[in-house]
Amino acid sequence: MEELNLIGYVCPIPVYETKKKIEEMSPGEKLKLICDDSDVQYDIPKLADRMSLKITEIREESGVWQITLKIPR
C-alpha cells in the first residue's frame, strides 16, 4: 500500500496530489491518504466517485484524517 502524507496542506492541494498519485499507480493497488485538512472528508469521496475508486477506510483521529482508496482493476 502506498502512503501519501499531506499534513499541513489545505484544499485544493490534497485533492490535486491524491489524483496525481493515483494516476501513477496500478489497478488493484491501495493508497492511504493522511491529511489534517478536514475538507478531505468531503472532497476525497467526490474525487473517488469521479475516478471510480473504492474507499476502504475513512477515519479521523485527533484532527488527522486517514482515507484509504483502492484503484479499480
Mean pLDDT of 33-43: 97
**Whole-Å CA distances, 44 to 34, 64:** 11, 14
Nearest in space to 36 (alpha carbons), one of 70, 60, 12: 60
Instruction: Give me the residue spans of the domains in the chain.
Output: 2-70
pTM score of the predicted model: 0.93
Instruction: With cut-offs at 50, 70 and 90, classify the pLDDT of residue 42.
Output: very high
Can you give the pLDDT at residue 33?
A: 98
What's the CATH code, domain 2-70?
3.30.110.40
For residue 38, name the pLDDT band (cuts at 50, 70, 90).
very high
